[in-house]
Amino acid sequence: MSKQINVALIGNPNTGKTSVFNQLTGLNQKVGNYPGITVEKKEGICKLPRGVRAHIIDLPGTYSLNTTSLDESVAVELLLNKNDKDHPDVALVISDVENLKRNLLLFTQIKDLKIPAILVINMADRMARKGISIDIPLLEEKLNARIALVSTRKGLGIEQLKELIADYKSLSKTPNVDTTVIDPEYFDKLKKTFPKEDIYKLWLVITQDVNFMPIEKKLIKDASSFSTKTKSELKRLQQKETILRYQFINGILKETYKVDRNAAKGFRATLDKILTHKVFGYLIFFIILLTIFQAIYGWSEYPMDMIDGFFASATEWVKDTLPPGVFTNLIAEGVLAGIGGIVIFIPQIAFLFLFISLLEETGYMSRVVFLMDRIMRPFGLSGKSVVPLISGTACAIPAVMATRTIENWKERLITILVTPFTTCSARLPVYLIIIALVIPEGNFLGLSFKALTLMLLYILGFVAAIVSAMALNKILKIKSRSFFVIELPNYKLPLLKNVGYTVLEKTKSFVFGAGKIILAISIILWFLGSNGFSDDFNNAESIIEKRVSQEGYSTYSETYIKNNLEQYRASLVDSGMYPNVIQDSIQTMESTLEGRALNQEIASYKLEHSYMGYMGKAIEPVVEPLGYDWKIGIAVLTSFAAREVFVGTLATIYSVGNDEEETIKNRMAAEVNPVTKEPLFNLASGISLLLFYAFAMQCMSTLAIVKRETNSWKWPTFQLVFMSLFAYIIALIAYQILK
C-alpha cells in the first residue's frame, strides 16, 4: 500500500494556483465545501515518485496569515490545527514571478509556523519577456528553502516539483524571521505563560478571530485573558511584523532578483488605458457581451437540436420496445422527459462557462471589476460587489458566498440581497425555450432578435440589482465606510487546459446538481399526472369518445389533422403516384391521424382531471392574470426547488400520455389557450414569463445559503417576499399591456 501525504496549495490570488493544482491532479479532482461552512473545498490526488500519493488541497487565495475574510480564515485554520485530517505535511506556496516580493510575505509566515514549505515560482516562461532574472541557488540559500521554478503553460518544472514534494522530510523548518524583536518584553511573557506552545502560532491565535477546533478555542480564551494589549496595540504590532518581514525580503531580493525595466515596457499600460477607459472601456465590454450572447445561440443550435431529437426518439423507442405498463410510462414520460428537459441546455451552459473562464484566464475580468466600480459607487456599493454580481451569471449560490471578501458588513449584506437578481445559468433554460417560442426570427445590425432579447434580460437583472442596492443603501441604517482596492493581474493567453477543466467541472456540477432535483420532481409529477380519483379521470376514454362523436374534434385537433393531411397529400403528389392510390393512402393516413388526435384528447382530459390537474386548477386563478394556464402554474410552483426545473416540469407534463415522437419545444408551441383559442405561448405570455423569472426568487438553495451567510431567516424571508411580489407585478403589467 502506497503512502499518502497531505499537500496544501496556498498563495495570493492571481498567482496561477489553480493552474498548478490542475497540472498536479489532472482530472483526478473534486469540488465541495468545507464542513459546516460555505467555502469551496477543492482537492485532488497526485502520484509522486517512489510510490507516494499526494492528497492535494487547493486552499482559498490569501495575501497573508493576518486574515480579513472567512476564506483566508479557513486557510489559516488548516495550517494551525494539527488535529485536522487535512493538516498539510508540506505546503506549496505559489508565487508569481513578477510579484515575488509580495508573495514572499506569505511564504515567510508559513515558514515561521514550522511547516515544511516549498516556494513554487510560477509563470517562468514570462521571465525573458519581462527582463527578469533570478539566482535560484542563492535565493534558496537565503530563504533556507527549496524552490521550484515552473511554467504551467508549458508544463515545465512540474516533475521537479513532484520530486521536491516526495522528498518533503528533508525540507528545513527553520523560521526566516524572529518576530519576537517587535516587542521582546511582550513575547517573553507569552513564552513563560505558554512554555509548551509555539510562539508564532500563539501570536496568530491572539491577533485574529478564527473558528478553531476545541483545543484552539481554549487557547484563544487563555491567550485573550493573558493579553494586556488593546486591539489597536495588537494592530500596530502586526504592522511592525509586516515591516520586519519586508526588510528581510528586500534584503535578499536585492541580491537574487533583477529586472530590466526597459523590457516589454508599456504594453500592459497601453492596453489598460483602452480597456478601462471611461467611455471605450464600457463600449468594449458591451461588444464582448453581445458577442457572447450571439455565440451562445449560434454555436449551440445544432447540438441542441440533436439532443432534443435524441430524447424524443429515446422516449418513442422505450414505448415501442418495453411492454406497456406503469414502469414503461415512468421511464418514458417521467425520467426521460424530465432529464431531457435539462440536458438539452448543456451546449449553451457550457458555452457560457467557456466565455466566463476565458475572461478570467486572460485577466480581463479584473479590469471589468475595476471599470464597474465607477458605476457601483453612486449605488452605495464598491467594485468588490461586482465580483459576486458577475459570478452570479453562473450561479447565485457561489456568488453569495463570494461576498465574504467584502469586509464592510453593510456592503456585504446589500450585495447578498441583490445578487439573486443577476441572471444565473439556471434561468438560462427557461429563457432559451421561451425566447425560441415567442421571439420572431430576424436581425438587427447583424444580431438576431433572440440574442438581443437574451442580453436585455441579463441587463435587466443587473439594473434591478443596482437599483435595489441604491434603495437598500438608503433604507438600511448601518454606518459604514470602506475603500476599494483590487489587483489587476498581468494579461496572459488563456491556458486551454484550465479553461477545459473549468467548463467540464462547472457544467458537470450544474447538470448533476440540477439533475437530482429534476429526476425526483419528474417522477413525482409523472405520478400526479398519471393518476386521479374522480370519475372524469377513470372514464376519460368513454367521455371523450362520446364528445367527439357528438361535437367533433377540438379546434387544435382539427388543425393538426388538416395540416398533416395537406403535407402528406403534397408528398404523395410529388412522388407521382396514381390518383386512386393517393386517395386510398390519404384515407388511411386520415384514420391514423384521427386516432392520434383522439388519444391526445383523452390524455389531455385525463391530465386535466388528475391529481396534478386539480392542483393546477387550484392555483390557476393566481397565475391566469399573467397569461398562464394551470400547467404553467404547476411548472412555476415546482421551479421554486430550482429555476431550471420549469422546463423539465413542462416536459414531463406534456409527455404524460403522449405517444408521438415530438420534441418539448413543438409540444409547447402547439399548446392552445382554451379561452382565446390562440397559442398559449405568445408574445404577451412569453414576455410575462421572461420578466417573472428575471426578477423572482425561484431558488430554495439560494435562500438557504443567504440564511447561512447572514445567520438569520429575516433577510432570506425579505428576499423571497419582495422579489416574488415585484416579479408578479411586473409580469402582470407586461401581460396586460401586450395582450
Confidence bin at 608 (pLDDT 50/70/90): confident
What confidence score (pLDDT) does residue 7 get? 92
Which of 230-234, 621-625, 714-718 is predicted least confidently?
A: 230-234
- Domain positions in the chain: 1-264, 280-475, 541-602
pLDDT at 9: 92
Task: Pick 695 or 377 by higher pLDDT.
Answer: 695
Residue 638's DSSP bridge partners are: none
Binding residue positions for GTP: 11-18, 36-40, 58-61, 122-125
Percent of the chain scoring above 70 in pLDDT: 83
Q: What is the pLDDT of residue 330?
A: 80
Residue 380 pLDDT grade (very low, low, confident, very high; cuts 50, 70, 90) = confident
For residue 252 the three cell numbers come to 535578499
Are 346 and 511 within 8 A, CB to CB? yes
Q: How confident is residue 487, by pLDDT bands cut at 50, 70 and 90?
A: low
HSE-CB for 45 with a 13 A CA cutoff: 8
Q: Which of 605, 713, 732 lies closest to 656 in space, CA to CA?
A: 605
How confident is the model over 710-730, as pLDDT tens digits?
778 888 889 989 999 999 999
Q: Which pLDDT band, with edges at 50, 70 and 90, does 213 fall under?
A: very low
Give the DSSP letter of residue 53: E
Q: Which of 85-99, 600-614, 627-641, 664-678 has the lowest mean pLDDT?
A: 664-678
3-state secondary structure 322-375: CCCCHHHHHHHHHHHHHHHHHHCCHHHHHHHHHHHHHHHHHCHHHHHHHHHHHH
What integer pLDDT is reported at residue 732 of this predicted model? 94
**Which pLDDT belongs to residue 562?**
80
Identify whether the C-beta of residue 350 lies closer than 8 Å to the C-beta of residue 507: yes
End-to-end Cα spacing for the chain? 71
In terms of DSSP bridges, do strands 4-11 and 53-58 run parallel, antiparallel, or are they unpaired? parallel
Over 60: is that where the pLDDT of 660 sits? no
Please provide residue 43's backbone torsions phi and psi, each rounded to the nearest 5 degrees.
Answer: -140, 155
Please give the Cα distance from 420 to 423 (Å, whole number): 8
Selection from 692, 280, 716, 632 nearest residue 460 by Cα: 692
How far is CA 340 from each of CA 144, 304, 311, 396, 431, rounded to the nearest angstrom?
58, 11, 6, 24, 16
Task: For residue 88, name the pLDDT band (cuts at 50, 70, 90).
Answer: very high
Could you give the CA distance from residue 422 to residue 396 in angstroms, rounded to a whole number? Answer: 8
Contacts of 675 (CB under 8 A, 6+ apart): none
Task: With beta carbons less than 8 A apart as the criterion, state whether 303 and 347 touch.
Answer: yes
Binding residues: 11-18, 22, 25-26, 36-40, 58-61, 122-125
Helix (H, G, I), strand (E, B) or coil at 197: coil
In the predicted structure, residue 14 carries a pLDDT above the cut 80: no
In SS3 terms, 212-251 reads as CCHHHHHHHHHHHHHCCCCHHHHHHHHHHHHHHHHHHHHH
∠ CA 702-706-709, nearest 5°, is 135
Strands 90-96 and 4-11: parallel
Range 1-264: architecture per CATH: 3-Layer(aba) Sandwich (3.40)
Q: Classify residue 661 by burial, with Cβ atoms within 10 Å: 0-12, 13-18, 19+.
A: middle
**Helices 683-695 and 714-738, axial angle in degrees (round to 10):** 160
Residue 506 burial (CB count, 10 A)? 22
**CA 568 to chain centroid:** 47
Annotated binding site for Mg(2+): 22, 25-26
The phi-psi region of residue 406 (left if phi > 0; otherwise alpha if psi is between -120 and 50; otherwise beta) is beta
Cell triple for residue 460? 435587466
Considering only CA atoms, which of 619, 626, 623 is closest in space to residue 736?
626
Q: What is the pLDDT of residues 189-207, one digit of tens each?
A: 888 887 777 888 888 887 7
Q: What's the pLDDT score for residue 674? A: 63
When pLDDT is cut at 50, 70 and 90, the band that residue 579 belongs to is confident
Measured distance CA(717)–CA(707) in Å, rounded: 9
Q: What is the pLDDT of residue 347?
A: 80
Rounded to an integer, the average pLDDT of 59-73 is 77
Per-residue pLDDT tens over the stretch 113-171:
888 999 999 888 888 777 888 999 999 999 999 999 988 888 888 999 999 998 888 99
